[in-house]
Amino acid sequence: MSGPLHGWGMADLLDDATLIASELVSNAAKLGQNFALALTTKGRILRIAVSDHSDAKPIVKTRPGDDWAEDGRGLLVVDALADAWGFDVRAAGGKVVWAEVTSSAGEPVVTVECMDRTPDITPEALARRASSFGGQAAAYAAERPGYPDTAIRWALEPVSDRTPLRVLDLAAGTGKLTAGLLRQDGVEIVAVEPDTAMLAELRGELPDVRTLAGSAEHIPLGDGSVDAVVVGQAMHWFDLDRALPEMSRVLAPGGVMAGLWNRHDDQVPWVKGFSEVSGRVTADGRTDFDASPYFAEMEHAAFPHSQRRTAESLAATVGTHSHVLVLDDGERAALTDRVLSYLRSTPETAGGEFDLPLVTVVVRAVRA
């Protein structure tokens, strides 16, 4: 399927919508409400068909003056997707994503159209979230998990025979992935990061690492100067139309590009509940890229991981995520209270320290 949103494919959007829809239907059933959501895609369109079997209230209520439904259950999915993916929901004809309600065989259909890409259309919204980390750089350094050696070694495997192995840690942040790279033998590292506060944390923690200010769209390195480009928890912020050719440019022939994401292991019931309470019903980043002329086909792998936490430190970790950083003080405090209440009342997390189960997802591709 085509039509990437933030550079990602429609398959990812459908996966997220399916997860959210399933949760909505399940939660509604517990309240005695009975409805169904059918999700399909066609090209760049995600269609959500709503079949409401409840007699309690109508499916769709239209807000006066607007031509899209305010309270239809399909739009609950749309709203949840908008929150998870960081896009805006607008009336039909809006430039980012629009939703409208039509009728198909007597059933309302919510149609969400995904434009080709959003960075050039809503730079303010993207920039706000992407640049939100600097103000909490110290907390990010203290609370975010690192990356397991198994995941890092798999990311670098296509070029592991090179000596020295020249690695660019792109969008290096406070150095979470950089520290893992330092544990590998024979690696020469350069870390590039656009945010001055994050870069200062990295330099303070890892003073011997070569660091440069720069971005994925403007990498301050020469052509063919590294064997690997690795990106930890950040590729979903890139303007991939500009970043992919830049990463290809700085890679030597046969070099590898890899992205790594730490995700909650939502196969564990209490972790799934925690993700829902903290507002992270979907993963931080999507790992299905559209085909690129700059790289060979993507390979995927996943590695078990964990982080030692307490209720308080895990709540602090939540506070370093972009969807929380952009909240106002009252909303952030309310979310923190809900997270702490959940963790302190859940048997697996109520007794002091515990392991937060994680999965580190890695994608890699060799330079074409």
At residue 154, does pLDDT exceed 70? yes
39 vs 135, residue with greater confidence: 39
Contact 152, 124 (CB under 8 A): no
pLDDT digits (tens, 9 = 90+) for 243-267: 999 999 999 999 999 999 988 888 8
Please determine, for residue 185, whether its predicted confidence score (pLDDT) is greater than 80. Answer: yes
48 confidence band (pLDDT: 50, 70, 90): low
Return the higher-pLDDT residue of 232 and 278: 232
Region 75-102 average pLDDT? 50
Give the residue, 11 or 298, on which the prediction is more confident. 298
In this predicted model, which residue has the larger pLDDT, 1 or 363?
363
| Distance separating alpha carbons of residues 295 and 245, to the nearest angstrom | 9
- Name the amino acid, one letter, at 304: P
The closest of 326, 335, 278 to 124, measured between CA atoms, is 326
Burial class of 74 by CB neighbour count within 10 A (0 to 12, 13 to 18, 19+): buried
Percent of the chain whose pLDDT exceeds 70: 57
3-state secondary structure 322-360: HHHHCCCHHHHHHHHHHHHHHHHHCCCCCCCCEEEEEEE
- Give the least confident one: 23-32, 47-56, 285-294: 47-56
Range from 65-79, 181-195, 312-326 that averages highest in pLDDT = 181-195
Per-residue pLDDT, averaged over 61-71, amounts to 35
pLDDT band of 273, cuts 50, 70, 90: confident
Q: Write the burial class of residue 358 (CB in 10 Å: 0-12 exposed, 13-18 middle, 19+ buried).
A: buried
At position 161, the amino acid (one-letter code) is D
Alpha-carbon distance of 297 to 224, in angstroms, equals: 20
Is residue 320 classed exposed, middle or buried when 0-12, 13-18 and 19+ CB atoms within 10 A define those classes? buried
CA distance 174 to 139: 10
- Give Rg (Cα) of the chain: 22
Q: Which long-range contacts (CB under 8 A, 24 or more apart) does 187-193 make?
A: 187/156, 188/164, 190/166, 190/221, 190/226, 192/168, 192/219, 192/220, 192/221
Lowest mean pLDDT, pick from 61-65, 202-206, 328-332? 61-65
Question: Can you say whether the dihedral through the CA atoms of 290, 293, 299, 303 is positive or negative?
Answer: negative
C-alpha to C-alpha distance for 33 and 228, rounded to whole angstroms:
52
Q: Is the dihedral of CA 275, 281, 286, 287 positive or negative?
A: positive
pTM tops 0.85, yes or no: no
**Residue ranges of domains in the chain, CATH in brackets:** 10-122 (3.30.980), 131-366 (3.40.50.150)
